């Protein structure tokens, strides 16, 4: 195992312990010493990885964003977003540890109103998700990553994803509303469609010449 991977695994393990303690005790009543003790490491180790106790949940949130981005990166061009989610998202398609981590994330999101200190960590992961969406949308539509329209689309879509995640988590944990995987996937797909400012949710046909100006003269004549 590389040093960087070992570091990320340690950060994620600490993040899981911090999340459990925050949910059990609340952030105010949880100390860095307690997080370190639960993880079986020295307190100085915790502070080597995190700038504050609240930031300790960032890796857990970030992992969720990265796994969702990985699903989108495997998105075939000929597939609509609803079909992608149906084939790729759901408890039966997750490893046990990933499912356990997602449950922790859902419980944390349901506490955002009561624990505003969690929101900074959550918004950090949303920003990470937005950066990945920029790449995914640009690649799917054969547009530059720095394109203003691509960046705007990624920002609005990420906002929609955030609202769905927060709403579903709050409804499930606080109000006991049970939602099926199919229903969540449908809500998510429709929210992304409504928020999207570019047509990337449906099957797309790759352009032979991404930039018409650089197409050979024969191709331009044929047009």
Residue 117's Cβ-count burial label (10 Å; 0-12, 13-18, 19+) is middle
Asked if the structure places residue 7 within a domain, the reply is no
Average pLDDT, the chain: 91
Asked if the structure places residue 8 within a domain, the reply is no
pLDDT in tens, 2-22: 778 888 899 999 999 999 999
Asked if the structure places residue 24 within a domain, the reply is no
Asked if the structure places residue 161 within a domain, the reply is yes
Asked if the structure places residue 76 within a domain, the reply is yes
- Structure confidence at residue 210 as a pLDDT band (50, 70, 90): low
Asked if the structure places residue 16 within a domain, the reply is no
Average pLDDT over residues 119-139: 96
Asked if the structure places residue 14 within a domain, the reply is no
Q: Minimal CA–CA distance to 12: which of 72, 67, 73?
A: 67
Asked if the structure places residue 47 within a domain, the reply is no
> How many domains does the structure of the chain reveal?
1
Average pLDDT over residues 85-97: 94
Domain that holds residue 189: 53-195
pLDDT in tens, 154-190: 999 999 999 999 999 999 999 999 889 999 999 999 9
Q: Kindly list the distances between the CA atom of residue 130 and the CA atoms of 68, 108, 156, 157, in Å, as whole numbers in the listed order.
A: 11, 20, 9, 8
CATH code of the domain covering residue 167: 1.10.357.10
How much is the pLDDT for 6?
A: 84
pTM, whole model, 2 decimals? 0.87
Average pLDDT over residues 134-147: 97
């Amino acid at each position: 195992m590389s040093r960087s991977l070992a570091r990320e695994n340690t950060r994620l393990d600490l993040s899981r312990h911090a999340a459990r303690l925050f949910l059990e005790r609340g952030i105010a009543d949880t100390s860095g010493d307690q997080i370190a003790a639960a993880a079986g490491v020295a307190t100085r180790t915790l502070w080597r990885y995190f700038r504050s106790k609240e930031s300790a949940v960032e890796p857990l949130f970030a992992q969720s964003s990265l796994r969702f981005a990985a699903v989108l990166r495997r998105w075939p061009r000929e597939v609509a977003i609803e079909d992608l989610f149906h084939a790729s998202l759901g408890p039966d398609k997750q490893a046990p540890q990933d499912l356990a981590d997602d449950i922790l994330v859902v419980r944390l999101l349901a506490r955002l109103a009561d624990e505003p200190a969690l929101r900074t960590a959550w918004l950090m992961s949303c920003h990470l998700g937005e950066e990945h969406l920029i790449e995914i949308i640009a690649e799917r539509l054969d547009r530059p990553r720095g394109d203003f329209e691509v960046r705007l689309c990624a920002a609005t879509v990420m906002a929609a994803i955030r609202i769905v995640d927060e709403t579903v988590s709050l409804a499930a944990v606080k109000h006991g509303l049970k939602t099926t995987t199919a229903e969540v996937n449908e809500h998510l797909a429709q929210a992304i469609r409504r928020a999207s400012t570019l047509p990337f949710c449906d099957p797309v046909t790759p352009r032979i010449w991404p930039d018409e100006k650089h197409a050979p003269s024969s191709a331009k004549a044929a047009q």
